[in-house]
Amino acid sequence: MDRMKNGRLQQWLRILVSMLILLRSEGLFVDITYLQSAVAKGAVCLDGSPPAYHLDRGSGTGINSWLVHFEGGGWCNNVTSCLARKNTRLGSSKYMDKNLAFSGILGNRGQFNPDFYNWNRVKIRYCDGSSFTGDIAAGNRATNLHFRGARIFLAVIEDLLAKGMKNAENAILSGCSAGGLSSILHCDSFKALLPMGTKVKCFSDAGYFINTKDVSGAQHIAAYFNDVVTTHGSAKNLPRSCTSKMKPSLCFFPQYTAQQIQTPLFLINAAYDSWQIKNILAPDVADPQRAWSKCKLDINNCSPTELRTMQGFRLNFINALTQLGASTSRGFFINSCYAHCQTEMQELWFGRSTPMLNNKTIAKAVGDWFYDRRPFQKIDCPYPCDRTCRNRVFGPEELTSI
């Protein structure tokens, strides 16, 4: 009983420390920019509203360096699910917050973001539901839905180029979750749009979604991604090096596309990614009795059998990563936390109690890799060995899966 009380006390102390860090580091709120000129190009959100982004200008030595970060937010895989997003911030710029807190990799203080704090930092808002890959020319008259994610990507990048990114000396394309997948799929095309002499690299945070079976033995995520690609007309905007060899929807999985990417790529992911455990390994459709519910809410609640299944998922994840082959231009930070997206939150990116691998925070590993100070390719030992993890605990309302 005393051990349980001590454990709860430690958890509350960690939450308090996190809140204090957030109060100190998240003082920056950045205004939204609506890209009205994109509408004429057909580059619009699901509801036809203009795309949007937030830009905080760089200064000093970072004035000609740019970090462009994709927002995450899952996908919609058919008309019904896209209609459900249409009147939310994930389907319309009308519902987006006009001021957004920048922290973690987007923070503007050197003590919290040592390598990128004074860069031009951009967050592209996500309102298309296809990881910025869709492009169907005609709008759906019955639903007034528009599938134009690829056009949004191009329109925003062109606008940023006109606002100074054409003079970039350094540039990073990054993103979290569905945005992390975007940063992989658009990595080479981003580099192609920038000046020849620009140093360009890409970061993907929690975007390495793997093609594996769920607990019922079904290929649920493969079918889901196939529906996304079909609904949005994404095939023509996925890497041709992949679509020329296999079914286009499989090219939504980084394990089949990342090997051919020419631009240096850094992958940040939890081997027990909480989104993938909830939606790929044990989605509701594969677990109708909700036997996995407690485990998905908190990894500490997982039974020995569930943990064995999750250890198998970790091995599948590592196999999907290592099949990319060796490359000195690639970096990865794969920890054994129960987490999803670790670069946007200050307490996970860089702080006193931040997750570490090889005695390095994510921020240090990424910064060293970008500036060619030191390579970084580390995979953590299996759960529960990593004592630096900040394992996510979810509320019951967060259990909904795809």
Strand order in the sheet with 52-56: 99-101, 29-34, 52-56, 120-124, 65-70, 170-175, 199-205, 265-270, 331-335, 377-379
Question: 47, 135, 188, 273: which one is catalytic?
Answer: 273
Question: 130, 177, 249, 401: which one is catalytic?
Answer: 177
- Using alpha carbons only, how large is the chain's radius of gyration in Å? 20
DSSP one-letter string for 310-379:
HHHHHHHHHHHHHTT---TT-EEEEE--S-S--SSSHHHHSSTT--EETTEEHHHHHHHHHTTS---EEE
Q: Is 47 a catalytic residue?
A: no
How far apart, in whole angstroms, are the C-alpha atoms of residue 242 and residue 239? 6
* Side-chain half-sphere CA neighbours of 161 within 13 A: 14
Q: Is 177 a catalytic residue?
A: yes
Token pair, residue 143, equals 């639903």
Question: 135, 340, 380, 386: which one is catalytic?
Answer: 340
Token pair, residue 271, equals 């081997």
Token pair, residue 324, equals 């990319």
Whether 20 and 84 have beta carbons less than 8 Å apart is answered as no
Token pair, residue 149, equals 């994610």
Residues forming the active site: 177, 273, 340
